[in-house]
Amino acid sequence: MENKNMILLILTYLELDDLARCELVCNKWHYFINQDSIQTRKIFSKFTYNSLQQFKWHTKKIQQLQIKDLIFYEEEFKVDKNDIIFTISQLVLESLTIKLNQLNIFDQLLINQKQLRKLEIRMPITNKEFQLLTQLPHLEEIHLRVQKKTDENLKVSQLRNLRAISLQLQGIQYQEVLQLVQNCYKTLTELEIDADEYNHDQMLQIVDCLNKDKIQKLYIYYFNDYSNQIIQKLSQFHNLNKLSIFKAQDIDQNYMYQLFYNKQFQEINLNQCDGITNKVLYQIAQNSQQLKYINLSWNFHISDQCVSLILENSKQLEEVYLIGCKQLTFDCIPQNLNGLFQKLRILNFESCNNMNDDKLMKLKNQFKYIKIINYYGDEIDKF
């Protein structure tokens, strides 16, 4: 039993057929694969299907374990819709991520899911289907992640009092999004939004409708019209700890400084933000004790010293992206690594001209569990 966590970790990398075989190896493995635990639920929540036999075996498992969190993708293999309906309708789910080829069964899947708190949809959806979400009394999170542009004006404003919203699809009218945000003013703490189709004034209105005392996570994708005024508004969000403002160009460093002044962030994406200077980085470093993710790619006004300070102060760091920071050298790595990098998993120096592969290899030998990427985009020790 002392290796339980290690065995469970290994099992999460296996495919369905392999899991079916492992189940027959011994009583201990059979127990691991059939126990009701968070880790086991993760094992059985990530598959697409290549055969009906795989689907049936998987169905038996998720019913036996009474899965609460399910990721269900139907892609290349078309499962009979009645089998899908039967499988999912037997569960009492709290979280569902779904992608179906057969769009006409969505209503039947949701009919018994009154306890659903989180729903992530990765397929086109109609207004008729979307209206079903208003009948889920406990729904707190809605995530629409659809690559295809929606063909109709999706009435997202039907929803109210959500805690987390992710709208990563194009074609939703701006007024619908604005009304949705207003409907959730008292409850919304997390917003991810694809803003490619919004102009400056529209984005400013959305930001103005957010509760400055509630918002903790704000990810803005594909927006190309940032201003000092928008950044100034964001600096007023007192509890903000996860932020992505990719490609915020022509921003004065003083506004960027105020954005991070005296705030503890967990995730920061500042890719291609030309207002990021050493002054801003120094402010981030002073309050980086909880920082887990930072992306400073393609920022040319930051120095080795300030990057080193962030790496030194951020004991919780898991991912660091410094792609295209051509001015950085190996001096950005702290000299004293004692107690550092214990949770770090990715360190990316792609397109960093001055990073020496020999020195990166020495770093890799010291921290074998870190995925270190060199100038060419290759992982150190695998090229």
Contacts of 335 (CB under 8 A, 6+ apart): none
Q: How many CA atoms lie within 13 A of 28 on its CB side?
A: 7
Mean pLDDT by 10 residues, the chain (383 residues): 68 76 83 70 64 74 76 68 79 84 74 90 86 93 84 87 93 92 97 94 97 97 95 96 95 96 96 93 95 97 96 96 96 94 96 94 94 95 65
User: Is the separation of the CB atoms in 191 and 181 below 8 Å?
Assistant: yes
pLDDT one-digit tens code per residue, 303-349? 999 999 999 999 999 999 999 999 999 999 999 999 999 999 999 99
* Distance (Å, whole) CA 287 – CA 383: 37
Angle 205-210-215 from CA coordinates, rounded to 5°:
145
Q: What is the mean pLDDT of the chain?
A: 88
293 Cβ contact list (under 8 Å, min separation 6): 266, 267, 268, 269, 317, 318, 319
Residues contacting 208, CB < 8 A, separation 6+: 233
Q: pLDDT digits over 128-152, tens only?
A: 888 989 999 999 999 998 877 766 7
3-state secondary structure (DSSP) of residue 382: coil
Question: What confidence tens digit (pLDDT) does each residue in 175-200 have?
Answer: 999 999 999 999 999 999 999 999 99
262: left (phi over 0), alpha (psi -120 to 50) or beta: left
Task: Output the DSSP codes for 301-331.
Answer: S--HHHHHHHHHH-TT--EEE-TT-TT--GG
Contact 323, 348 (CB under 8 A): yes
Q: Give pLDDT, residue 76.
A: 56
Tell me the helix, strand and coil percentages in the chain, rounded to 5.
35, 15, 50
Q: Can you tell me the distance from the alpha carbon of 133 to that of 279, in angstroms, rounded to the nearest whole number?
A: 46
State how far the Cα of 108 lies from the Cα of 117, in Å rounded to an integer: 17
| pTM listed for this prediction | 0.86
